[in-house]
Each structure stands twice: as C-alpha cells, then as structure tokens.
C-alpha cells in the first residue's frame, strides 16, 4: 500500500511529504503518518530542520469531513499538532494551493510558514457550524493581531499569501519553486534558535472590553441565527483571558458541542449536498462539447450579468440585441459590473482592460457563427423565445449548444421548434447573475448527454453550483416558491399582514421575507406569469386577488416606489396602510374571518408547503433528491443555510422549528 506520508533527507533537511489526493485531507492515516514523521526526524541526528510539503494541487485543505460523525481515533489532530510544535528542530510549512482549517492549524504549529503568492489561507470551520478544534482560536491570536484573527475565524473567508505576509501570518511569500525555496529557508533557520512556540506567547494586540462587546453585537446581527461565528468570537475573546492550556480545553469542549449540535449537522449536510447535487448518471464519463466562445442574447439585467460572469471566467462573449440603442445599454451594463469588480479589487486594471477587449456586441445573429454555446436571456414570452431559437438555428454552427434562461416556460416546447432539439438545454441563472451561485440546468426530453454535460461544466466553470432539474412550470425553485408564495397570500386573507409574514421569515433566518423579495424582483414578473396561467388554472383552486389589485395600481415594487411596501428612499421597505386596508377589504369581501397568526404558525405553514411541493417534485422526477431541493432553496431563495434546507428539516426535525443554542 502506498504511504501517504513520506520522509526524505536532503542536505540535512528532512522533507515530510503528504500525498493524499485530491486535497491532502487530515484523515486518520495522514495524522498517523505525521506523528511517525515527527518521531523519525527528532531521532535522526542528520536532520537539522524539517520542511512539511504536500504533493498535488494543494497543501492540507482541511480535516476529513466524513470523519466528523464517527468516534475519534487516535492520534487526534491536536496531539499531532502538539508534537510538531514541541519538536526540537524547526519545522517549516511550505504551502501552496489552499491551507485551510486543520491544514492551517498544522501550519500554525510549525515554527515558520512560507507560501506561494496565490496560496489561500483560512479557518473556514464556521461554515460547517464549527470553530477550529485543534488550537486555531488559541494560536492564531498569538501570531497576528487579535482583531485580524477574529475576522479570519468568524468570517470563514480565506486570505491570499500577500495579505497573510502583511499581517504576520506567514514569514515569506514566494513565486519561485516552493520546495527549493523551502529547503534553503530551512537551512538558514536551522542555524538559529528554534522560535518560541505560539502557545508560550502573549495575545497580540488584545481587544479592550468595549471593542470585544461591539464585535459580538455585530456578529449576532450579521449571522442571522447562525451560532458558530458568534461562538467563535466568544471563545477567542474568553481565551485571551486564560492561559494557553485552559484556552485549548475550552476550544475543544466548544468544538465538540457544536459538532454534535443541529446547526453543524445541517451545514455539513449542505456541504455534501452541494457536491452531489450536480451529478447525473447520464453524463458520467461523457465528454463535453467545446464551450470557449459564448453568445448571449439580450442585454438586460440578466443578460448583462450572465455576460459579465462569463467574461470573468476568461471566455470571449458576443452580446446580441435587437437595436443599437439597446446594445449600447447592454454593453454599458456589462462594463459597469466589470468596473465594480475593479473597484472592489477583485480584478486588476490590466485584467479589467483585457476582459473589456473580450466583449463584443452586435445586432445581427450572424456574429454568433463561431459561438460554442449561446444563452438566450430575452423577455419571458414563449413566442419571442421560439423566434430567437429559430434564428439561432440558422446562424449558429450545427454543434453549438443552445440554452435558454427561462424561469418558468416549457423548455421542451422551445426545443421542439428546432430541427435538432437535442442541442437545447435550460440554464436558469438567478439575479444578479454575476453574484448568485445557483444555476438550474434544465434537462429537456431530447437533450443529448454531451449537451447536458456541457451545460453542467460551463456553469461550474463560472464558479456556480449547477443543479439539474426536469421540465415543469418553474422547475425546482420557482415551483416551490410559487407554492409557498400562494400559501403566504392565503395567510394575508386569513389574518396576517405582509410585515408579519416577512418578519417571521427573517426571524427564522431568511435575509428578507417573501413580500419584500417580490418587491425587489418586481411584482410585474409574477403578474405576467399569473395572467399566462389563468386559462389553465383549476377553477376549484383558491386564488388570491391581492397581488393583482396591487399591480393594477402600477405598484410593481422598489422600481416604482411602492408595491407591498412603500419605498420613500428607494430601498427601505415601510408598511403601507393602503395595502393593509386592501388586504382587510379582500378578507371581508370573501367573508373570511381574520384571526391573528403567530410567527411559529406562519413558518409551520411555509415549511409544510415547501416540503409538500418538494416531495411532489421528487416523486415526479423533476428533482433527483431532497439534497438537490435543499441546495436550490439555500443558494437561490435565501433559506437559512444553518437549517440545512426544507427537505433536511423534513427528514430530521419534522416535529419542531426550534434549534438548540450551543452558545
């Protein structure tokens, strides 16, 4: 059996190499190998220093998440880290790729840290409902300023090596051959006394009482019910008042409590669900078609976002509009998004200039003759979209993948208009398309496997999470949203007001409620969909006229200054007496006796509706699994990630909305 951890001596420097693809996770075998490497290098008189290095594309990218639900097996990571930290010979962590979670905790145990310029370093445990459990909350604030340590741990966001060097997290950032540089560095440091271990150092720039309290208050507001960021801050702040051993004991106890808690189970569920939801049997082993040159039809908000996201992935984009005026507006919208990326330092000036040079615009479909993939993002009307696809069939190559960004329409009906319907697929982006991580990939009845594989690959290459879905009205997300939106509209008639329903959803953990969200998206979109479905609506189905009556007054949400709410400043939702009176009037007209609804009752109704519709979607084969539904609802509709998704709750907590607090 191949050894996952090896030791090789070179010029009195022991090179300890981890080779456990794909991410060199700290499994039991790797931990055991590291423990043996410490013993071997300590006992070898020829070894003067040690370089810890990883093969493959990354340094240690974290713990083995699959082991979290199993009984711990020695050696524990904390024990391995203590052994490295206590070594009499200096250890140098030579990092590339990602050094995350337990990987960074191992690096903190080393006496020195060097990294390639593009290495990302972080402690993302809060994203799994945890805190660092092998000394990260204790060692990090003894290496860098406590404020920086607090930010790194509670945000879960990594920093690149350049910023890490500036803060003192690493000793050297290089762009040369990492291993060679690490050996030279180790030889230099072997002549010096071994640095004081971090556990023996004082906290760097500790926060005063007021600053600590402010940090906790800010995190509580920002986390919207997720415990781990707040708990992490409390552990760091409390640990600064304790000696290192006491702080380590508190960290470990808190880690174990969180690990066994409901929020961490939910977040770990999402971690695996996001990785499994994109996989479909029919694309296994199927080669994708080329997708380097992309066409986008429509330069509105969605089309511009798709074009910008595609450009940022390094692809050439041709934007098509029906007139020069609309084309100019569309190109300007794309440029504004790229300008914002430059302003936020997400891209450098030279890259910004290069990306603008990769953007072309035209009013003639013939400009798409060399496109590999074309995405239609025009008005949500079947006849308009069918006309676009018929024009595309004439202009594009026969092997070009043709995708529609429709939110509700039947993609099979679009595909049927073409001589070769197998090249058609749905790519439903969510607005704003350059920011939102979700893409629903709609499988038509006739889509070729390599077309579906291409669509999935393209979405992933944009940094998105693609979720395959079958064809139905609204696919996965909008179908579920339509169902619980109707339930919420019925609750308006039964006794609630928009602010009460939205308030219950925000208390549950949503960033905004259903009515505020509709105001943001534009009420005219849903109105058009309702009018389209009116001829086929089941007569016995309960129908709520309130949203139609609001739209008939020209109140389409934020963009018109009023919808369910008033927006006097253009962005802040204020309850509107006109809407409240309208709702009461409709209840009276229908003879409905209004009764108050508690937050729990509101959320029970919403969750029951989500879960019932979700079960129907799975039974019909629209979604592959509950995992796929959870990913869609979390990434696309603001369902609180720390609750795991509606189907996770259905399986794990059908009896209660409550989550136990570990703090």
Q: CA dist 242 to 235, 253, 463, Å?
A: 10, 15, 42
Neighbours of 187 (CB within 10 A): 16
Is residue 320 helix, strand or coil?
A: strand
Q: For residues 247 and 238, what is the distance between their CA atoms, to the nearest angstrom?
A: 8
* C-alpha closest to that of 61 among 106, 105, 23, 108: 23
* Residue 295 host element (H or E): strand 293-297
CA dist 646 and 629 (Å) reads 8
The enclosing H or E element of 338 equals helix 324-343
* Cα radius of gyration rounded to whole Å, the chain: 28
Tell me which of 105, 440, 500, 516 is the catalytic residue.
Answer: 105
- Using CA atoms, how far apart are residues 119 and 174, in angstroms rounded to an integer? 10
Catalytic option among 35, 125, 516, 613: 125
Q: How far apart are CA 259 and CA 476, in angstroms?
A: 31
Omega of the bond prior to 446 within 30 degrees of 0, cis? no
Long-range contacts of the stretch 595-602 (C-beta < 8 A, 24+) = 595/494, 595/495, 596/495, 596/496, 597/491, 597/494, 597/495, 597/496, 597/500, 599/500, 599/503, 599/504, 599/507, 599/508, 600/657, 602/491, 602/496, 602/500, 602/501, 602/504, 602/505
Assess whether 274 carries a catalytic annotation.
Answer: no
Q: What kind and span of H or E run contains 38?
A: helix 28-43
Distance CA 404, CA 442 (A): 9
Distance (Å, whole) CA 187 – CA 173: 17
Residue 215 neighbours by CB distance under 10 Å = 21
Does residue 69 contact residue 256 with C-beta atoms inside 8 Å? no
Nearest CA-CA partner of 449 in 591, 280, 312, 303: 280
| CA 364 to centroid of chain Cα atoms | 36
State residue 410 phi and psi, 5-degree precision. Answer: -75, 110
Contact present, 368 and 318 (Cβ < 8 Å): yes
Residue 262 phi, psi (nearest 5): -70, -35
* Ordered DSSP codes for 559-609: GGTBSSEE-TTSS--EE-HHHHHHHHHHHHHTT-------HHHHHHHHHHH
User: Could you tell me which of 494, 146, 489, 434 has the C-alpha nearest to residue 311?
Assistant: 434
Catalytic residues: 105, 125
């Amino acid at each position: 059996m191949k050894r996952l951890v090896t030791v090789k001596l070179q010029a009195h420097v022991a090179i300890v190499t981890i080779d456990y693809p794909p991410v060199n996770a700290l499994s039991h075998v790797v931990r055991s190998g590291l423990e043996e490497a410490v013993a071997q290098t300590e006992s070898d008189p020829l070894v003067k220093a040690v370089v810890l290095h990883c093969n493959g594309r990354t340094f240690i990218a974290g713990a083995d998440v699959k082991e979290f639900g199993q009984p711990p097996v020695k050696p524990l990571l904390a024990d391995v880290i203590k052994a490295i930290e206590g070594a009499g010979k200096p250890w140098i962590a030579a990092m590339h790729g990602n050094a995350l979670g337990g990987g960074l905790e191992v690096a903190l145990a080393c006496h020195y840290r060097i990294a390639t310029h593009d290495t990302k370093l972080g402690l993302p445990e809060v994203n799994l409902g945890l805190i660092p459990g092998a000394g990260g909350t204790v060692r990090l604030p003894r290496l860098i300023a406590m404020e920086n340590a607090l930010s790194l741990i509670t945000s879960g966001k990594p920093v690149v090596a350049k910023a890490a060097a500036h803060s003192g997290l690493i000793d050297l950032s290089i762009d040369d051959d990492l291993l060679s540089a690490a050996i030279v560095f180790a030889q230099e440091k072997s002549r010096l006394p071994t640095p004081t271990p971090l556990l023996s150092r004082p906290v760097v720039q500790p926060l005063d009482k007021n600053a600590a309290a402010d940090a906790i208050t800010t995190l509580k507001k920002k986390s919207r019910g997720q415990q781990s960021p707040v708990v992490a801050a409390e552990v760091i702040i409390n640990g600064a008042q304790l000696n290192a051993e006491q702080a380590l004991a508190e960290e470990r106890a808190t880690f174990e409590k969180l690990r066994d808690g409901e929020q961490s189970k939910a977040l770990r569920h999402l971690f695996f669900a996001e990785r499994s939801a994109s996989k479909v049997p029919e694309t296994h082993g199927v080669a994708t078609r080329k997708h380097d040159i992309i066409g986008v039809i429509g330069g509105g908000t969605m089309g511009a976002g798709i074009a910008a996201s595609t450009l940022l992935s390094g692809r050439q984009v041709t934007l098509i509009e029906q007139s020069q005026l609309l084309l100019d507006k569309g190109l300007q919208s794309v440029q504004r998004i790229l300008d914002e990326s430059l302003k936020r330092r997400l891209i450098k000036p030279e890259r910004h200039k290069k990306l603008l040079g990769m953007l072309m615009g035209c009013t003639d479909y013939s400009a798409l003759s060399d496109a590999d993939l074309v995405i239609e993002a025009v008005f949500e009307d079947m006849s308009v979209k069918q006309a676009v696809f018929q024009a595309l069939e004439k202009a594009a190559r026969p092997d070009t993948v043709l995708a529609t960004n429709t939110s509700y329409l039947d993609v099979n009906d679009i595909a049927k208009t073409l001589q070769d319907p197998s090249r058609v697929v749905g790519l439903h982006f969510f607005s704003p398309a350059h920011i939102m991580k979700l893409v629903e990939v709609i499988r038509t009845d006739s889509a070729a496997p390599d077309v579906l594989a291409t669509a999935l690959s393209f979405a992933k290459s944009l940094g998105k999470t693609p979720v395959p879905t079958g064809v139905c009205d609204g696919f996965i997300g909008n179908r579920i949203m339509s169902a619980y939106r109707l339930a919420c509209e019925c609750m308006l008639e039964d006794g609630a007001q928009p602010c009460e329903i939205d308030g219950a959803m925000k208390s549950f953990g949503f960033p905004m409620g259903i009515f505020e969200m509709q105001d943001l998206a534009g009420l005219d979109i849903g109105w058009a969909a309702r009018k389209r479905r009116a001829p086929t609506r089941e007569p016995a189905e309960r129908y709520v006229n309130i949203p139609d009556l609001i739209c008939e007054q020209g109140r389409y949400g934020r963009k018109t200054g009023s919808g369910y709410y008033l927006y006097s400043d253009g962005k802040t939702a204020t309850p509107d007496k006109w809407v409240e009176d309208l709702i009461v009037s409709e209840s009276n007209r229908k003879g409905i006796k209004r009764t108050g609804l508690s937050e729990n009752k509101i959320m029970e109704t919403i969750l029951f509706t989500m879960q019932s519709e979700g079960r129907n979607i799975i039974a019909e084969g629209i979604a592959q699994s509950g995992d796929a539904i959870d990913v869609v609802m979390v990434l696309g509709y603001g369902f609180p990630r720390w609750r795991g998704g509606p189907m996770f709750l259905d399986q794990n907590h059908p009896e209660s909305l409550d989550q136990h607090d570990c703090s």
